Amino acid sequence: MNEIEHYVAPSSLEQAAEYLQRSGEVTLLAGGTDLMPQSQSGKLKIKRTLMNIHQIPELKGITIEGGEIRIGALATITEIMQSELIQKHLPILIEACDQFASDQIRNAATLGGNICNASPAGDMLIPLLVLDAEVELASKPNGSLTRRRLRLTEFFVGPGKTRRAPAELLEGVRIALPPPHHYARFFKFGTRPALDISTISIGIAGVLNTGTLSNVRVAFGAVAPVPTRAPRTEQALEGRHLDAAAIDAIAAVARDEVKPIDDIRATAWYRKELIHNITKRMLTHVAQA
Amino acid sequence: MSLKHDIEFTLNGVRRQASVRVDMSALDMLRDVVGLTGTKYGCGEGECGACTILVDGKSLNSCLLFAVDCNGRNIVTIEGLAADAKADALRAAFVEYGAVQCGYCTPGMVVQASHLLATHPQADADAIKRGIEGNLCRCTGYKKIVEAIASVNAADKQGARP
């Protein structure tokens, strides 16, 4: 049972940050699609104050500013999917949105919620990791609004745990515009296309030049306590000409690099096989691109 | 005694006020506070779509929506769709095609179908299946449901021609 003492719905970022600074015992509500089932099932207890951040204009919108795309924390999965900016510059995010839950959930769930929920299987997190996304955190420690940026790779510390301080609010994510010939793909494996939590997911990105990827980023979902980059796989892939033997070798590195667990969705062994086989398939597509 | 909060919103075209528990879902508010029971509780965790409603023109699972978050918003439920000509065509098509078995998923299915037709007027059978992927029919009567929705779309397209 939730013993909520206060409900607040600030109308500006300043107000929200001020409130968070004064009171540490706050649960944030955005889309609610995770908070509601988690609080109803008792997995998560809503703290003394429930703060609805839905009406804060600074957290909305998808814009391009100084060579970066900024996606506000309150952007819904549907809004990202329909954004011409994202379709043009970051199509890998569209791939992830397209496989995200169902229409009803995409219409409510926010990008900020997916990030702060910090599930190892969070659908948007893998593409964001391979895009070198940064999170923007706002707080009001000394009476004035201050912001810090953190690379998303450093943001996750465990399932449901992030480096966001209790007095901070996730304002949005920033992604540098990809360079020419940028290649980025996402693959999610689940038992059915809709409403499934990933058994594993894979993101691969880099600059493509005649069958070779450079400046490589590889990330894996649902194989570790946090969504994670795969440095050994990246190193194996970097600058390598992708013939059949190379693809086999890199897929084997990927399989050996991940340390998944057995759970209700799959065994560790099966996850390692999936990582191997899907990495191989994705690299075959890279070689043909 | 859990904390309550007063909210005001538009429900099926009419301004409403309600006093709701802050941890209450919009679904519980609709059924237990307002008294509109057309919207169904299926799973309570956004998997089945039986509780689908329209909020500011977008379809949402009302079981995942906090009732307090309805403040200032425009809510349409299956009862509100009854007054909408296009939704009435959907209702008639569900009857004509036998797209109703036990009927429990039907309100959510019709609300989601009307949102789908409003946002994707060109939807073919595949797009309709994608559009209702968040709605489960445990009688598994999907074929007739998809046919019913497609028939409304086809009739629309014909009617639109001069």
Most confidently modeled range among A185-189, B27-31, B150-154: B27-31
Which among A7, A29, A102 is the nearest to B133, CB-wise? Answer: A102
Cα A119 to Cα B96: distance, rounded to the nearest angstrom: 44
Q: How many domains does chain A have?
A: 3
pLDDT, residue A1, reads: 54
Stretch B139-150: mean pLDDT: 95
Cα B70 to Cα A186: distance, rounded to the nearest angstrom: 35
Helix then strand then coil, % of chain A, to nearest 5: 35, 25, 40
Which one-letter DSSP state was computed for residue A69? E
Percentage with pLDDT > 90 across chain B: 86
- Answer yes or no: do A214 and A166 share one domain: no
- Answer yes or no: do A150 and A201 share one domain: no
Whole-angstrom CA distances from A20 to A1, A33, A141, A223, A226 are: 23, 22, 10, 33, 26
Q: Residue B160 pLDDT more than 70?
A: no
Q: Which two tokens stand for residue A29?
A: 């509500």
- Answer yes or no: do A192 and A221 share one domain: yes
For A116-130, b/e burial (b = at least 16 CB within 10 A) is bbbbbbbbbbbbbbb
Interface test with A, best of B52, B59, B130 (most A CBs within 10 A): B59
CATH number, domain containing residue A11: 3.30.43
- Answer yes or no: do A108 and A166 share one domain: yes
Nearest to A146 by CA among A110, A171, A166, A163: A171
Query: Which residues 47-76 on chain B approach chain A with CB closer than 8 angstroms?
Result: 47, 49, 52, 58-61, 63-66, 68-69, 71-72
- Answer yes or no: do A22 and A63 share one domain: no
Query: Which residues 48-67 on chain A approach chain B with CB closer than 8 angstroms?
Result: 50, 52, 54-55
Query: Chain A contact for B2, CB < 8 A?
Result: yes
Tokens 């990933």, located at residue: A198
- Answer yes or no: do A161 and A191 share one domain: no
Distance from CA of A108 to the nearest CA of B (A): 6
CATH number, domain containing residue A278: 3.30.390.50
CB contact under 8 A, B59 and A104: yes
- Answer yes or no: do A240 and A257 share one domain: yes
- Answer yes or no: do A117 and A140 share one domain: yes
pLDDT, residue B153, reads: 82
ipTM metric? 0.94
Domain boundary among A159, A176, A193: A176
Query: Chain B contact for A157, CB < 8 A?
Result: no
The answer to whether residue A1 sits within a structural domain is no
CATH number, domain containing residue A145: 3.30.465.10
What domain range includes position A169? Answer: 57-176
3-class SS of residue B54: strand
* Total-model pTM: 0.95
- Answer yes or no: do A157 and A102 share one domain: yes
Q: Which domains does chain B have, with CATH numbers?
A: 4-80 (3.10.20.30), 84-160 (1.10.150.120)
Contacts of B71 in chain A (CB under 8 A): 9
Cα B142 to Cα A74: distance, rounded to the nearest angstrom: 34
Contacts of A105 in chain B (CB under 8 A): 46, 61, 64, 134
Which among B22, B72, B116 is the nearest to A7, CB-wise? Answer: B22
Residue partners of A24: CB distance under 8 A and separation at least 6: A166, A167
pLDDT grade, residue B94 (50/70/90)? very high
Domain boundary among A161, A176, A191: A176
The amino acid at residue B152 is V
- Answer yes or no: do A199 and A242 share one domain: yes
- Positive or negative, the CA dihedral B29, B32, B34, B36 is positive
pLDDT, residue B159, reads: 58
- Answer yes or no: do A242 and A160 share one domain: no
Find the helix or strand (DSSP H, E) in which A25 lies.
none
- Give the residue ranges of chain A where pLDDT is below 70: 1-2, 193
CB contact under 8 A, B3 and A29: no
pLDDT grade, residue B161 (50/70/90)? very low
Q: Which two tokens stand for residue B48?
A: 């089945």
